[in-house]
């Protein structure tokens, strides 16, 4: 649970990479930038954690010391809508990420649930629900319940992950919370997020389905995004204002509803744009006070 709106990057910023420091120093680096969230990228992991437990625990300790909220983005090679070997491999990859997230003390593992393939969306959703319940059963039997699964709204129409599907997963599977990727929602619905009421409808639907606690403490992704008729094409920087959605609109709603989201920036300028989002919110608060 966030005590305030928090901002941070999806992965290690380029400005940190050039310093050639261990990832365990990223919490201090972000803290010094005035950021207070970090999503560790485990997006190419296999069936075992590709990080030593000692390093993961050290990262978690440093995150607490520097007041940085930690989450982890799971493997891209997960498809919980599939069957047989692909499904079993996907569950192993996701559990490897959950295990490492537990070592870090991370709040959640964000992941893309999968692709419809040739299945009807309802059938794909049912398969995904069963797979996630099996993962949660393993988590419970191995005392991994401090970590939540966070299925992400998807940007492409071929992917399971519209808002209704993500909320259904959270309703049907324990230890699950939504990851609302606002840019993906915008792209999937061909630029729909244009007014404060467009954003409000999303928040209202989450509250109706999952309750006030879920809306107050959302985990989110954000960036400007380019899209086609098939959905997401590529992420853009905050300065590329020809792309949306406009963060100022969401920031106004965050202030109005006193929300405390964790906002993870996925633009090409990870920490720079996270700071710009933070500063937009601060300026709007100052004007309204």
Residue 191 lies inside a defined structural domain of this protein: yes
pLDDT (tens digit, 9 = 90+) per residue, 223-235?
A: 999 999 999 999 9
pLDDT for res 190: 94
pLDDT for res 287: 85
pLDDT for res 95: 97
Q: How confident is the model at residue 78 (pLDDT cuts 50, 70, 90)?
A: very high
Percent pLDDT > 70 in the chain is: 99
The total number of structural domains that make up the chain: 1
Choose between 276 and 1: higher pLDDT: 276
Q: Which domain holds residue 28?
A: 6-288
Residue 1 lies inside a defined structural domain of this protein: no
pLDDT for res 3: 87
Q: Is the pLDDT confidence value at 1 over 60? A: no
CA dihedral 136, 80, 2, 267 (to 10 degrees): 160
Mean pLDDT throughout 53-81? 98
The owner of tokens 């692909």 is 86
pLDDT for res 288: 75
Residue 36 lies inside a defined structural domain of this protein: yes
Residue 32 lies inside a defined structural domain of this protein: yes
Residue 26 lies inside a defined structural domain of this protein: yes
pLDDT for res 2: 67
Choose between 147 and 1: higher pLDDT: 147
Q: Is the pLDDT confidence value at 62 over 70? A: yes
Kindly report the average pLDDT of the chain as a whole number: 97
CATH number assigned to the domain comprising residue 120 = 3.20.20.150
pLDDT (tens digit, 9 = 90+) per residue, 196-219?
A: 999 999 999 999 999 999 999 999
Residue 226 pairs with which residues in a beta bridge?
Answer: 234
Q: Is the pLDDT confidence value at 131 over 90? A: yes
């Amino acid at each position: 649970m966030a005590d305030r709106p928090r901002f941070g990057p999806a992965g290690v910023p380029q400005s940190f990479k050039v310093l050639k420091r261990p990832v365990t120093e990223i919490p201090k680096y972000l803290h010094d930038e005035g950021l207070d969230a970090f999503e560790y990228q485990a997006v190419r992991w296999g069936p075992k954690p590709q990080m030593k437990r000692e390093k993961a625990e050290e990262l978690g300790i440093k995150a607490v010391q520097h007041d940085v909220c930690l989450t982890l983005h799971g493997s891209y090679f997960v498809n919980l809508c599939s069957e047989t070997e692909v499904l079993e491999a996907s569950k192993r990859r996701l559990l490897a990420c959950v295990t490492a997230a537990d070592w870090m003390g991370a709040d959640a593992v964000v992941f893309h649930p999968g692709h419809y393939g040739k299945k009807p969306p309802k059938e794909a959703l049912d398969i995904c629900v069963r797979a996630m319940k099996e993962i949660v059963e393993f988590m419970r039997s191995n005392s991994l319940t401090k970590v939540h699964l966070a299925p992400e709204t998807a940007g492409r129409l071929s992917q399971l992950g519209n808002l209704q599907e993500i909320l259904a997963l959270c309703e049907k599977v324990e230890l699950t919370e939504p990851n609302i990727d606002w840019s993906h929602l915008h792209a999937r619905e061909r630029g729909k997020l244009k007014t404060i009421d467009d954003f409000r409808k999303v928040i209202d639907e989450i509250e109706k389905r999952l309750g006030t606690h879920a809306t107050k403490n959302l985990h989110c992704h954000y960036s400007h995004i380019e899209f086609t008729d098939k959905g997401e094409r590529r992420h853009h920087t905050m300065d590329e204002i020809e792309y949306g959605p406009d963060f100022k609109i969401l920031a106004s709603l965050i202030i109005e509803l006193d929300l405390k989201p964790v906002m993870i920036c996925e633009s090409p300028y990870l920490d720079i744009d996270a700071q710009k989002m933070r500063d937009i919110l601060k300026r709007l608060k100052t004007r309204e006070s």
